[in-house]
Structure 1
Amino acid sequence: MPGPLPRSVRFGYATGSVATGAFGTVPGLMLLPFLTDSLGIAAIWAGCIVFAPKAWDVVLNPVAGRISDRTIDPRGSRRPWLLRGGISLAVLFALLFAGPDVGSRWVDAAWVLVCFLGCATAYAFFQVPYVAMPAEITDSYDERTRLMSWRVAILAFTIMLAGATAPLIRDAVGGRDGYRVMGVAMAVIILAGVIGAYAGTRSAPHLEVQPGAGTLRDQLRIVGGARDFRLLLTTFVLQALATGCMLAGVDYLAGDVLGRSGAATILFVCFVGPALLLTPLWARFGTRVGKKQGYVVASLVLATGAVGTLAAREAPAWVVFVATGLIGVGYAGAQVFPMAMLPDAAAADARRTGENRAGVFTGVWTAGETLGLALGPGLFALLLAVGGYRSSTDGDAVQPDSALNAIVLGFSVVPAVLVLGSLWWLARYSLTAKELEEVSG
């Protein structure tokens, strides 16, 4: 059995989640309100702007994975892309909220669309190689769970840091300048994660496997034929859709429904605080009962918390905060387990075939995750439009009851149904530690 990874490698790899966490959180949290409540763009069009660049990533991610599979570099096939994609992402993110104020909504919308498209492209070339690395760092079934627990712990911390401070920075400065300053601050955080991951994986082990032969289409066909991977991916995409919907709704739930100053920050602390404490416990729980069983339990906890926020319009705010904390408990496990199961699927394929398709597997995976996280805000924007949400340039529009109900449903019932529905596919997943050992033998 392979030995455990050094703590320095675990921590070094996990620091990449500072970049993925910041970029995965802040646009989902801030971009839709920026478009509807600062630029005055109608909810339906704002949803399209948020969704379109992410849809591009769905096409690009498998390509990025294939390119990193075939990269030859003394630093490793993945690590050079951490710098190339990551630094580009930080620069473009700083520009995303920094558009010139020329008094034209069309110019504002075009600026955001182009910059977000650039961010999405750069992110693909950082995220896909980054997520592919665990399959090549270790071939231990349980060590991947431990590695992912470190990653998810730092991811949870980053989500709390970025998600809690981004609204505070915006509100402290105020207006469009608040968004500009916030964008630069988050870009610095992204850059720190990029450099940390690159430097921290310098001494990481690297399992050599030959890149898969054939064209990208051939590789995608082979990956698509991996039954357990398809089932796991479907489960994760539906849950990413649920997460994206809730993330998009935080600012609206805090401001329009709860009506409390700083409520968005409190919601984020409630969401992520439990994850910081419980991520190692989820990893131990998965080692004892299995990753699949752990994933099921975490999903049920997440869905229960989401349903609890249905009372947001009538119940005291503390009830919503507690329910959000329960969402955070489930979310931590619902990140640890699928992230640890993905490299299992890629490693099983590599051991059966002797060819490295980790990048393609990861590219398809991140494409699915990106699609889910992009559709989440789009779905929430659609609910806002159906509910008659009133966009404005100062964020002070009084919302009708139908819009408030749409906000609550988009944060509670809709995500809960998606998470519970995803378990139908997870129930049929069958890849186990024993099966991986048989493949290795």
Structure 2
Amino acid sequence: MVAAVLPARVRRGYALGSVATGTFGTVPGLLLLPYLTDTLGVAAAVAGLIVFVPKAWDVLLNPIAGRVSDRSVSPQGRRRPFLLRAGIALAVTFALIFAGPTAPPALAATWVVVAFLLCATAYAFFQVPFNAMPAEITPDADERTRMMSWRVAVIALAILLSGGTAPLVVDAAGHRAMGVYVGLLLLVGTLGAWVATRGVAEDPTDAPTGPLRAQLRVALAVPDFRRLLLAFVAQALGVGTLLAGVAYVARYLLADPAASSVLFAAFVGPALLVSPLWERWSRRWGKRSGYVVSTVLLVVGSLALVTTAGEVPALAYVAAGVAGIGYAGTQLCPLAMLPDVAAAATRATGVNRTGVFTGLWTAGETLGLALGPGLYGLVLAAGGYVASTGGTAQSPSALLAIALGFSVVPAVLVAVSLIPIRRYGGSHG
């Protein structure tokens, strides 16, 4: 029988999987676009497309991964085997992305596309089952919120560690060494979650037997799921755009490549402290309320990042801190609301479509994060940014594009998400 209250080792150990999700969600968005434009010499618009294509593949693959894990049967559990197998593949293929040739640009870009496609495939078969587990291992909505508090704290730590140190590894030892380093981080996270969830009971409700298309229609017919999905996609797009601009802002506006690590610390660091506070807010005033307030803070902080155009690092770091406080809540609240919706749907229908729900969810998140660097690349191209392997001075319009793509564009996208959030019913937990 599924336990309502989980052992502390499960809550904390499950969260270790977020070392992988946080790292993979951060490093490609942070380093892959500048790697293509400034190391391989690929034009900005083309580089944005290269970053997007493997992620677009994941958008199609995630619902399939959810369906496959829904129908999986194993003595180790419905979802756990995917954590191990896909996690190992994820670590290896990530290292391969940065292990290819650096010239000519066409060959180098082809290597990146193929390796990134393989990596994105492995990630789909890790992330979707990982996200599905909370709805199946406890029926208690508050317990799921506590799980998400640990998970968001680990996500923040993973983003801080990977986003803060990966650029330093690049500066010290090059992109190949960075690929191996990040691959090891991914391996630690996936193996940690796999070990910690050993022996945990799962909801035995059977998966649906109909075709995938029909199951997707059923999931999308749930109003609150649609609202959560739309909000989360808009926010993922905004955050993905913001992350893509960090290296450019540090290099061209703050005139210090190392400032990218400081910006990351200012953005992610507050989440390590405020995640428990967002959990308490959610339990006292509701998850939707926490989601609205944290979204507003993320919008305000993002808008304030336009101060990077004034080349005043202190103001940029304060703005990043405000955005980071909001970002923590915009991770915890929806990640706790999703399993509530999936569990409510299972109770109402007697059929477990959790993998389908999480497959669609991760597809939407992947789409947003994938479009972010692509959108930022288009903003750079519109501003006249000049790609160069050796570095070059940029025009005033290009510098303005760097600043606006890092601040105003993400703020507008995140603000749009408030529309579906406010319509969420909130009756599932």
**TM-score, normalised on structure 2?**
0.98
TM-superposed deviation, 1:213:
2.5
Cα RMSD, aligned residues only: 1.1
The offset of 1:205, in angstroms, is 3.0
**d(CA) in 1 for partners of 2:201, 2:18:** 19
Give the letter aligned to residue 118 of structure 1: L
Q: Shift of the alpha carbon at 1:313? A: 1.8
Counterpart of 1:120? 120
Alignment partners' CA distance in 2, 1:384 and 1:328: 24
SS state at 2:111 partner: helix
Deviation string 1:259-297 (CA, Å, 9 cap, x unpaired) is 124100000100111001111111011111100000000
TM (normalized to structure 1)? 0.96
Shift of 1:432: 2.0
Q: What letter corresponds to residue 320 of structure 2 in structure 1?
A: T
| Residue deviations 1:370-418 (CA, integer Å, cap 9, x gap) | 0000001110000001011111112x21111111111111111111111
Residue from 174, 179, 197 that aligns with 2:175 = 179
Residue in structure 2 matching 1:243, options 239, 245, 251? 239
Inter-partner Cα distance in structure 1 for 2:204 and 2:407: 45
SS in 1 for 2:310: coil
The letter of the residue matching 2:31 is M
Query: Is the aligned partner of 1:142 residue 2:138?
Result: no
Shift of 1:218: 1.1
- Following the alignment from structure 1 to structure 2, what is the Cα–Cα distance between the partners of residues 388 and 366? 33
Q: What residue in structure 2 maps to residue 62 of structure 1?
A: 63
The percentage of aligned residue pairs carrying the same residue is 57
Between the aligned partners of 2:136 and 2:233, the Cα distance in structure 1 is 24
Deviation of 1:3 (Å): 4.3
Taking the aligned partners of 1:258 and 1:303, their CA distance within structure 2 comes to 22
CA distance in 2, matches of 1:105, 1:398: 21
Structure 1 unaligned segments of length 5 or more: list them: 437-441
Q: Deviations over 1:45-83 (max 9, x none)?
A: 000000001001111000000000000001111000111
Match of 1:110 in 2: 110
Q: How does 1:64-213 map to 2 (within 5 A)?
A: 64-101=65-102, 103-173=103-173, 178-213=174-209
Q: Is the 8 A contact 2:254 2:311 kept in 1?
A: no
1: CA distance between counterparts of 2:426 and 2:318? 35
Instruction: Pick one of 334, 353, 356 that aligns with 1:357.
Output: 353
C-alpha separation in 1, matches of 2:16 and 2:311: 38
Query: Separation in 2 of the partners of 1:58 and 1:188?
Result: 25
- TM-superposed CA distance for 1:162, in Å, is 0.1
Give the equivalent residue in structure 1 for 2:416.
421
Q: What SS is found at the alignment partner of 1:313? A: helix
* Whole-angstrom distance in 1 between the partners of 2:297 and 2:257: 28
What residue in structure 2 maps to residue 439 of structure 1? none
Task: Report the equivalent of 1:338.
Answer: 334
1:411 to 367, 388, 406: 406
Is 1:317 the counterpart of 2:318 in the alignment? Answer: no
Q: Which amino acid aligns with 1:68?
A: S
- From 247, 264, 270, give the equivalent of 1:268: 264
Q: Which runs of 4+ in 1 moved over 3 A?
A: none
Q: CA offsets per residue over residues 4-54 of structure 1, 9 Å max, x none?
A: 321100011100001111111100100000000100100000000000010
Tell me by how many angstroms 1:203 deviates: 3.0
- Structure 1: distance between partners of 2:389 and 2:212: 45
Residue number in structure 1 paired with 2:29: 28
Q: Whole-Å Cα distance in 2 between the matches of residues 4 and 295 of structure 1? A: 24
Q: Which letter maps to 1:7?
A: A
